[in-house]
Structure 1
C-alpha cells in the first residue's frame, strides 16, 4: 500500500488481575477500522479501570470500553470527533449512573476511570476522567510526557480518592484536548496499577527497549510493576503511528481528478444513461440540468462543475463533498441525493430529486401580504429541515429564498449543498487551503465574510432574515445598508429596522425575536434554533416593553390570534397522529 495514502499503526495491549485481586476490574482495547471509516472516524485506543470500592466497577469498565470501540463508530460520520465521543460518553455515563442507582444502598455503583485517544488524520483527540493515564513518546524530540491530569484528591500521603469518573454523577465532566501528531509518535495508556509503581522514566525505558514487540513491552510493564509491589489490576496499551495516511498535494490532486469533468451539455445529449432535457440554471461555479433516466424514464436534476475549475483541487474536493454530505441527510424537507445507476459514473457530477414548484424567492414576490399562518407553516418547515441537518452537525451556510423550493401542496424543500459545513470532514487533512463559504450578502451571517464560522448561529441568522422578509412583505432587516459595510464592526453597528414599521400588525415581542435571530453580532444572537422558534410561537416576557402601542392595535391582536390558532391546530394534529399510532 502507498505509505502516503494509508494510515498504519503498531498496537498492543495487556491486562492482568494482579496478585492480590480476585477479579480483573480493568478493561483495555483498540479499534483500527477499514479505510472508509478510518478516514472519517479515526483509530481508537482506550483503557478503563473499574473502581474497586464500587460494587460493579468491573462491569462499568467493560461497558465503557465496549461503548467506545463500538458506539463511537456508530455515530454519524459527519460529526466531529469531540461531538461524537462526548455524545457516546454522555449516554454511557447516564446509563452507568442509573444502573448504580438501582443497586442496594450499600453498593457503590457502576464507576470506572476512562482514558481514550482517537487518531484522525494528523490530529490526536484525548478524553479522560479519573486516574488512568495517557502519555506520548514524541518522534520529534524524544520526550516522554503525561498528557492527562489525575482527577484525585489526597486525604493523606497514603490515601487518595477519585473526584471524577464515569458513572459517578448525573453529568459527565471529562477532559478533552487535541494535539498534532507525527509519524513515529507513540501513545501509551495505562491504569494506576502500573504508573503508581513505575516512574515515568522506567516506563519509557521499557517501551523503548522493545521497539519490535510492543506485546512484550506491555507484558514487561505489568511484570515489573508487580515486582515493584503493585497490589492492583494492571493494564497497558501501546500504539505507534507508523504512517499517518495524510496525502501530499500530488496524491490528493490525482485522487480528486480520477473522474473527468463532463463535456458541455445540451438537450438530447446522453451521459451515463441519462438524457439531458434542458438547462435549469447556470452560474460561474456550476450548472443544473433536468435529465431523464433512460431506463426508468424518471426526471432528475444533475449538477455539474464549472469547467473553469478543472485545475482547482480545493473546488473539486468541495464539489465531491456536496454529494457525500447530502446523501447522509434523510428528511422530507431537504432535497434527496440520488445514487448513480449501477453505483458508478464516468464523469464528475451528482444527481438530485427533481422538486416541482417555485423558489421561495418567487413565492414572496407573488405573495406580498401573505396570511401569518401560511408564513408560520413555511418557517416551521424550514426550521425542521435545518434541524435535521444540524442533527448531523451539518450547517447549510447559504440559506436564502432562492435555496428553498415551495411545492404545490405548500411543503418545502431546502436545496443546494454548495456551501455546507460539516466539522467531521473539516478534521480530515487537506494539503490545499479550503474555500470559505461567504453565502449571499443579504441572508448570510456577515461573520462568514471575515473568516469566522458561527456554525448553527449562521443558519439561525439566515432563517430570521427570511422570516422578517416574509412577514414584512419583501423588506429586509437592514435594507441595503449592508452593501456599504467594509469591516465586521460596521456590520455590528448597523441599525435594525423594526418589522412593525413595515407592517403594523406585527407585535413587539415577535419583532424582538426576529431582531435577536438576525443580530449581526453573533454574541447577541440565539445559540439554539429551537429557542428562536419557541420565541416566535410564545411571547417572551423579556421582549414585551412599555412605550410602544402600534397604530393598528386590533390588527396586532388579529395577528397573534391567527398565529395562536395555527400553533394550536398544529399541536392538535400532532397529538391525533401520535394517538393513531
Structure 2
C-alpha cells in the first residue's frame, strides 16, 4: 500500500452488502429493461459507496432498450470515476445530467420521434450509513425494515383515463433533468427492493415483501419475484434487484483511535536533524497547532516544506483526523494558485506531510511592503487567489480560513494558497466516524462572521474572506475595523457597519468600493452568488454601483439627477477610468 492509499486507511468502511438481480423479457418480444449492481473494494467503497441501478426503456420509444442499457452501464462506470472528494449527490447529478443530455441529443438526431431514447431510472447508492436515492419515471425503490415494506419513490406519471397513464418525466425526455433525490439512514438488516412496473404492477405489496424475504439467497428471491409476476399475468418485461445490508461499520472510538495513531508524532525538530531521508534545514513557521520546516530530500536533492503536527494534540483524535485529511485533500486540489502536496514513494515512520516549497513572501508581508500598490498588480493577485479558491470549490471543498498569512506571493507576482488546515470536505463529511470532528472557526477578522454562529455559508464564506483581503490590500485596514472581534451573537453582527474603502484610500472608485461592500455583507443572502460575479464587478464598473454613496439619501428628484449625471459620466469616462485604475 503506497502513502496516498494509506491516508484514509482509518476510514476504511466495513459495510458488507449482499445483492441479487434478475430480468426477463416476459411475454414481450424483447427485454427493454436493464439493471446492475457494483460494490467496489477498499478506498472506493469508503469514498463512493456501492450502487444499484434499474432502468425500463419506454416501449413507445423505439430506442428505449438502448436508453436503459446506456443509463445503467454509464452510471456504474462514470459514477465511480468522479472525484473521490465529491459528495454522492454531486457525483450522481453530474453523471445523470451528462447521460440525459446524450439521450436527448440522440433522440433528436432523427427526423421522426420514433427513435426516442427514453427510459425510467432508479438509482440506489449506499455510502457509509446513508442510502442515497435518485429517481425518475415509474420504476420503484422499496425498503423492507423490521418486516415492513415502504415505497421510497414516487411514480412520475400522468393519468389519461381510468385505464391509461403516461410518463410525465423520464431520462432523455427533456434537456432539463428533473430527478428526485432522497437520503435515508441505513440500518443493519435493511433490504432494498428495486423493481420495474412489470413486477410491482402485478404483485401486491404484501407479496413483494413475502417473496423478497422468502430465503437468505437474494438471487433466488429475485427469480421468485419475476416468476410470480409472470404467473400473475404481467404482460411487460420483468426485472427486480435486491440489496441487503449485512453489516455496518460499528467501530468504537478506541478502534478508530488505534488506526489514527499508527504513525507517532515526530519529535521536536531542529536544523541538521534527519527524518525519513529528509534533512531539516530551517523552521519556517510554528504555532500551537503545527510547524513548517524547509527540508531537503537527501535522495533527490529536492527542497520541500514539511508540515508536522503539534505535540500538544497527541491525544486529540479529532485533531489527528483533520491533520491526516489535510494531505489527502491537498493531493486532490490541482491549480497553479494552490500549493502542491508531494506524495513520497517511501514509507513514513512519523506523522507529517510534504508540500512544494514556494519561494516568495506571505501576502501579509507583501501588503506591508507595498503601502500603495499598483491597482493592476493588486487586482492580478486577487484574481489569482480567486482561481485558487475556485479549484477548492470545484472539488466541493471549502477553505474556511483564507487570510494573508496563508497566501504566498512569488517574485513573479503570482499568488499561491498554501494552507489546508481548516478545509471542509463535503464528501468526507458524509462518512460516519465515531467521533466529534474537529471544527476550525477560521481567523476572526477574515472568516465569515456567521460561520462562528454555526451557519455554514459555503462558497460565500470563502468569498467574504477574499473580499476582506482585497480591502486590506488597497487600504491597509480591515472593512469593519476590529469590531468583528467583539461579535458573539446575531444582534451584534447586525449592528456592524462597513467602513467605505475610499475613506482610507481616496483614489478607490465608488464602483470598486461598492463591489467590496456587497461581497462583505453580513447577511450571506445579500452577497454575490459566485466568485466570478465578484471579480467581474471588481474589474469592470457595474452601472448600479456608480451612484456615490452620499447621494443615495437625496430626494427622488435629486437622486434621478445624480443617476443621470453618473450615467453620462460612465459612458464618457469608462475606458479612461479602467485604463487609469488598472494601469
TM-score interval (norm. to shorter): over 0.9
Query: Secondary structure in 1 aligned to 2:424?
Result: coil
Q: 1:232-279, CA deviations, whole angstroms, 9 ceiling, x for partnerless residues?
A: 111100000111234321221111011111111111111100111121
The residue correspondences of 1:41-190 to structure 2 (distance < 5 A) are: 41-107=48-114, 109-138=116-145, 141-190=146-195
More displaced, 96-105 or 178-187? 96-105
Structure 2 partner of 1:470: 473
Contact 2:100–2:175 (CA under 8 A) maintained in structure 1: yes
Moved over 6 A (4+): 557-560
The residue correspondences of 1:191-210 to structure 2 (distance < 5 A) are: 191-210=196-215
Contact 2:309–2:351 (CA under 8 A) maintained in structure 1: yes
Shift of 1:202: 0.4
The alpha-carbon distance between structure 1 residues 428 and 566, as it changes in their structure 2 partners (threshold 3 A), is farther
Distance (whole Å) between structure 1 residues aligned to residue 534 and residue 232 of structure 2: 60
Matched, 1:362 2:365: yes
Structure 1 partner of 2:24: 16
Distance (whole Å) between structure 2 residues aligned to residue 335 and residue 377 of structure 1: 18
Contact 2:13–2:46 (CA under 8 A) maintained in structure 1: no
- What 5-or-longer segments of structure 2 have no aligned partner? 1-9, 553-565
The alpha-carbon distance between structure 1 residues 560 and 433, as it changes in their structure 2 partners (threshold 3 A), is farther
Structure 2 partner of 1:349: 352
1:335 alignment partner, one of 332, 339, 344? 339
Matched, 1:241 2:245: yes
Shift of 1:565: 7.6
TM-score, normalised by the number of residues in structure 1? 0.92
Distance (whole Å) between structure 2 residues aligned to residue 291 and residue 322 of structure 1: 19
Matched, 1:254 2:258: yes
Shift of 1:281: 0.8
Shift of 1:530: 1.2
Q: 1:360-381, CA deviations, whole angstroms, 9 ceiling, x for partnerless residues?
A: 1011111111111001100111
Distance (whole Å) between structure 1 residues aligned to residue 576 and residue 77 of structure 2: 50
Structure 1 partner of 2:6: none
Distance (whole Å) between structure 2 residues aligned to residue 497 and residue 226 of structure 1: 74
Q: 1:286-343, CA deviations, whole angstroms, 9 ceiling, x for partnerless residues?
A: 111111111112221111111111111111000000000000111111101011242x
More displaced, 501-510 or 36-45? 501-510
Distance (whole Å) between structure 1 residues aligned to residue 573 and residue 113 of structure 2: 62
Query: Secondary structure in 2 aligned to 1:107?
Result: helix
Matched, 1:300 2:300: no
Distance (whole Å) between structure 2 residues aligned to residue 339 and residue 566 of structure 1: 43
- What 5-or-longer segments of structure 1 have no aligned partner? 570-581
Matched, 1:386 2:389: yes
Shift of 1:163: 0.7
Contact 1:506–1:559 (CA under 8 A) maintained in structure 2: no
Structure 2 partner of 1:455: 458
1:445 alignment partner, one of 445, 448, 465? 448
Shift of 1:347: 0.6
Query: Secondary structure in 2 aligned to 1:14?
Result: strand
TM-score, normalised by the number of residues in structure 2? 0.92
Contact 1:115–1:128 (CA under 8 A) maintained in structure 2: yes
Shift of 1:563: 4.3
Distance (whole Å) between structure 2 residues aligned to residue 431 and residue 303 of structure 1: 26
Query: Secondary structure in 2 aligned to 1:346?
Result: coil
Shift of 1:10: 0.7
Structure 2 partner of 1:578: none
The alpha-carbon distance between structure 1 residues 288 and 561, as it changes in their structure 2 partners (threshold 3 A), is farther
Q: 1:94-113, CA deviations, whole angstroms, 9 ceiling, x for partnerless residues?
A: 11111111122242511111
